[in-house]
Amino acid sequence: MPDNPEIIIGVDPGTNVTGYGIIIVESSSCSVLDFGCIRPPAHLKITDRYLIIYNSLEHLLDIHKPRVLAIETQFVHKNVQSAIKLGMARGVVIVAAKRRGIAVVEYSPTRAKRAVSGNGHASKIQVQGMVQKLLNLESLPEPEDAADALALALCHAHSQRFSQSLGVEI
């Protein structure tokens, strides 16, 4: 890892709950700067919820000034409408980062789980437990969406460390 501290934000997008986790990487250690969830009121129109996600994320980006945003890749279940709404939430997050010149990287849920637990099919509680251990947190990071976002940030930190050891830039 570089000698300069690097700030990475992980985002687990959703229209009801968008998890975020912000870590700082110094030498070979990672620590938490902030984590939590953006929860637009469910009674609002979906377009208003997108705006709340965008404004809230802008605020976090302005405060913490990350260099990289790690986001979960899109996956499609049987409900196409849900997939479209999730894709829109992802787009809102990506635009907020790109407007500030922040690099955006994408990781699948299984890759993020594997990066923190060694198992791409780890349960939510296993991911929370490993994130707690890796970041020396006093308790499990909650809610699960925030733990998933922290796992995405850690996944990028580990991927970057590995690629740098090979002399490759990601």
Q: Which helix (H) or strand (E) holds 110?
A: helix 109-117
Catalytic residue at 34?
no
Q: Which helix (H) or strand (E) holds 127?
A: helix 124-134
Strand partners, 32: 23
Question: Using an 8 Å Cβ cutoff, are 33 and 162 in contact?
Answer: no
Catalytic residue at 3?
no
Catalytic residue at 145?
yes
Q: Which of 6, 12, 144, 148 is catalytic?
A: 12
Q: Which of 6, 72, 144, 148 is catalytic?
A: 72
Question: Using an 8 Å Cβ cutoff, are 149 and 34 in contact?
Answer: no
Q: Which of 6, 144, 145, 148 is catalytic?
A: 145
Query: Distance (Å, rounded) from C-alpha 104 to C-alpha 102?
Result: 6
Q: How many CB atoms lie within 10 A of CB 81?
A: 7
Catalytic residues: 12, 72, 145
